[in-house]
Amino acid sequence: MSTGNINIPSTKATFYLYDSKSNRILIRGENVNFSKTRFIIFDIHGREILNYLLSSNSQYIDLPSLPSGIYLDEITPYFNSKY
């Protein structure tokens, strides 16, 4: 068994969410590859409302008719790392 250091470059990723009155949002990223990235929306009780697989760094997502309220989002990037 051997041990070693793995050098993983660090970059600052920036995500932008643009709300729209037409039941769609724009997700845009800088310094990040959204390929195979998960975007999930939860209601205030933690129930999953939407689970979407992103495919580009600037993408519109159509939303179902959601009632007014507070929603949480989660963006989970896909890391293709080999150790």
Higher pLDDT among residues 82 and 63, named by residue: 63
> 10-66 pLDDT, tens per residue?
566 677 777 767 778 888 877 777 778 888 999 999 999 999 998 888 888 888 778
Q: Are 53 and 36 in contact (CB under 8 A)?
A: yes
Beta bridge partners of 26: 18, 60
Residue pair 42/48 in contact by the 8 Å Cβ criterion = yes
Residues paired with 23 in a beta bridge: none
Name the class of domain 14-76.
Answer: mainly beta
- The predicted model scores a pTM of 0.68
Where along the chain do its domains lie?
Answer: 14-76
Question: Which amino acid appears at position 38 of this protein?
Answer: R
- State residue 5's pLDDT score: 55
Using alpha carbons, select from 10, 55, 59 the residue that is nearest to residue 33.
55
